[in-house]
């Protein structure tokens, strides 16, 4: 083993790795801090976030990733595609590893949910490439009030409405992760 010298002419083994907490920000916050964060996120995201009903972690994640550029096959803040974004969101917010799958596979592996019964965190699927058989080619995560967060090719990670004509036309269903 290689040894490193110190200033006192003693020798120690050099540091090979440093372990840091996996998520130093993740902690319990008091109700007042939570309310302040909800208020700030409501302004940033233009969504009325209500506590304790709404998942503050979900909206914080959406806010942090908002504006992340699109990159096909990407899964990081440097660039992500729609399924990479969903994968990262579920790992961070729900501590669930959905695996790195296509939109079509995510749809096949989730329980179908009628649009009227979508809950916060449900997946929303679209056939934006006019795939035969109505297969999903795009996925996002439902927030509330017909709003969802997703990664688009032109604008990166954004929040959109299911009521926008484009998404209303291409929407093919909702799914709940099993």
**Where in the sequence is the domain holding 160, given as residue range(s)?**
31-177
The answer to the question of residue 59 being in a domain is yes
CB neighbourhood size of 144 (10 A): 18
CA 116 from chain center: how many Å?
A: 22
Q: What is the CA radius of gyration of the chain?
A: 20
* Residue 18 located in a structural domain: no
Report if pTM > 0.95: no
101 is catalytic: no
**Is there a catalytic annotation at residue 30?**
no
What are the pLDDT tens digits along the chain (178 aa)?
444 444 445 444 544 443 334 443 445 678 888 899 999 998 999 999 998 888 999 999 999 999 999 999 999 999 999 999 999 999 999 999 999 999 999 999 999 999 999 999 999 999 998 777 778 999 999 999 999 999 999 999 999 999 999 999 999 999 999 8
Q: Structure tokens of 48?
A: 């009325």
| CATH code for the domain in which residue 107 is found | 3.90.1720.10
Query: Can 82 be counted among the known catalytic residues?
Result: yes
Residue 108 lies in a domain: yes
CA proximity to 124, closest of 146, 139, 108: 139
Q: Is residue 20 part of a domain?
A: no
Domain tally for the chain?
A: 1
* Catalytic member of 30, 82, 101, 117: 82
């Amino acid at each position: 083993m290689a040894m490193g010298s110190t200033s006192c002419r003693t020798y120690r083994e050099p540091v090979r790795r440093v372990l840091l907490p996996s998520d130093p920000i993740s902690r319990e916050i008091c109700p007042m801090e939570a309310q302040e964060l909800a208020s700030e996120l409501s302004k940033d995201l233009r969504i009325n976030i209500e506590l304790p009903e709404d998942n503050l972690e979900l909206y914080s994640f959406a806010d942090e990733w908002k504006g992340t550029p699109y990159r096909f096959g990407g899964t990081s803040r440097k660039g992500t595609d729609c399924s990479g974004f969903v994968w990262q969101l579920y790992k961070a917010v729900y501590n669930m590893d959905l695996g790195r799958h296509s939109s079509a596979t995510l749809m096949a592996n989730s329980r179908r949910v009628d649009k009227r019964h979508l809950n916060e965190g449900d997946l929303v699927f679209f056939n934006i490439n006019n795939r035969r058989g109505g297969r999903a080619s795009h996925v996002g995560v439902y927030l509330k009030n017909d709003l969802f967060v997703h990664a688009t090719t032109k604008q990166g990670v954004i929040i959109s409405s299911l009521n926008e004509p484009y998404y209303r036309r291409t929407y093919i269903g909702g799914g709940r992760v099993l």
